[in-house]
Amino acid sequence: MKKILLIICLLLLGSVVRADRVKVRLFSNNSIDQIAISFDLGTYNIYADDTILIEPEIGVGKSIELTPAGQKVHITIDGYNYGNHNTIHFTANDTACILCLNPRNIKHRTYEGDLHVKVNKGGKLLLINDVDFETYIAGVVQSEIYGDDPDIFRVQAIISRTWAMKNINKHKSEGYNFCDQVHCQAYLNRCVRPDIMLGTMLSSGMTIVDDEGNLIDAPFHSNSGGQTANSEDVWRSALPYLRSVPDTFSYHMRQSEWVKVVDKDKWLNYFANKHKVDIHNDSLRNELLTFSQSERKSRICGVPLTRVRSDFQLKSTFFSVIYDTVSNRLTLSGHGFGHGVGLSQEGTIRMVNLGIGYDSIIHHYYTGSHIRHNDAYPHSYVENYIQQISQIIEEDKQKNTQTKSKKEDWLGRLFRVRDREEREEVYDPFADELETDWKYDW
């Protein structure tokens, strides 16, 4: 009964999206030739292909190593060889289960849910996290934005959920839904902060749609520099909800300003050789050396600024050129960080800090859009979950130390509370109470 209740608790979070679970390729930018796997919370069953590999279930204290062996995965458990197999599956036995993944020469990460491992065509390990949709969204929010107010995370969760639901089949042909990098959305760890999970829960059932009720493309970037960009100035399509808007909220933030110095001849020769600009034409040469943007432009001398940004590795396309005749160098004085289309994350942080509501923030950046609330969402469950997470956050504020053991992880604490609640529901006042009745084995 306990296991069923625990599973229901978090599976309900994803019950109203098109997929209760998603598959995410982990370490997708890395070549993995060895990985150590351990367990921070809960227990798992390990399957080799479709057959259970070892019994009983294993958890904290066990050490596993996986390496490629041709087109198969070699597995050792606590130093013992368990052979080569097509696929290794780690299946969580409860909702509160955490895997620690430590590839060789790569910073370790932790994830919830299941893990599938096989060898790709290049002879390296391919790792896929099979995880609840809302657990994935919380991990994305943690990876994509900073801050300390749950409303910041609520906004990011709404746009990340919208993007994920619209692009659910982006990597379908490769056997998973998303990768863990910005090609999809960053997903660089499980959500370890209760305030981020709180913000995600506060956004439960919310997505962004257009006038016809269709999910919008919901691009976001770090900082607009003071003005967002039209979608057609960066990509091909002009979308009615991705219009350029003034964004003074992005001023005076971490990524508001940047500078890059470029040699004048390198700058001029770039336009001459790559884009066939006549740099001997006084008018064109003058534009290249004195280019200025008080408001966003899309081109310089007919060349798309997106190309210039890419080739010179600039933080944004929103920059002006200052020519120093003494040093014969150009200073590119820029604003913002990212493509500039849609929501500015640092602008969002400023707006939340000013007390502006999450819905007003979304409507500011996605003009004419609408927030859709899914009425089928289990609101009573969500409210209870929010109360419990809020209690954990308040408890953390009372502590003077930032150091916490693995048993103090918010997920473990949440489910210890729920375990007690379940036991209290079946408590027999006439039975002898033993200390072991109140002990949960982690």
pLDDT at 273: 97
Write down the mean pLDDT value for the chain: 88
Q: Which amino acid is at 135?
A: T
Residue range 185-198: average pLDDT?
93
Mean pLDDT of 23-30: 97
Lowest mean pLDDT: which of 5-19, 58-72, 333-347, 357-371? 5-19
185, pLDDT greater than 70? yes
Residue 96, pLDDT score: 83
Give the C-alpha separation, 101 to 98, whole Å. 10
pLDDT digits (tens, 9 = 90+) for 106-122: 999 999 999 999 999 99
Q: How far apart are CA 439 and CA 442, in angstroms?
A: 9
Q: What is the pLDDT of residue 15?
A: 35
Give burial (CB, 10 Å; 0-12/13-18/19+) of 221: buried
208 three-state secondary structure:
strand
DSSP codes of every residue in 14-68: GTTSS-SEEEEEESTTS--S-EEEEEEESEEEEEETTEE-SSS-EETT--EEEEE
Predicted confidence at residue 9, as pLDDT, reads 46
Q: Residue 363: name the closest of 376, 351, 380 by CA.
A: 351
Looking at residue 381, what is its pLDDT? 64
Q: Which has the higher per-residue pLDDT, 13 or 340?
A: 340
| Residue 180 banded pLDDT, cuts 50, 70, 90 | very high
Residue 178 — pLDDT band, cuts 50, 70, 90? very high
195 versus 95: the higher-pLDDT residue is 195
| 12 — pLDDT class (breaks 50, 70, 90) | very low
For residue range 58-84, what is the model confidence (pLDDT) as tens digits? 988 999 999 999 999 999 999 999 999
Residue 290 reports pLDDT greater than 60: yes
Domains detected in the chain:
25-131 (2.60.200), 257-335 (no CATH), 379-426 (no CATH)
| 394 or 276, which is more confident | 276
Cis peptide before 103 (omega within 30 of 0): no
Give the CA distances from residue 16 to residues 20, 94, 132, 206, 367, in Å, rounded to whole numbers and listed in that order.
8, 21, 12, 10, 26
* Each residue's pLDDT tens digit, 243-283: 999 999 999 999 999 999 999 999 999 999 999 999 999 99
Tokens for 322, please give them.
Answer: 């200052």
What's at 169, amino acid-wise?
Answer: N
> Is there a contact between 129 and 26 (Cβ–Cβ < 8 Å)?
yes
Per-residue pLDDT, 425: 43
**Predicted pLDDT at 383:** 79
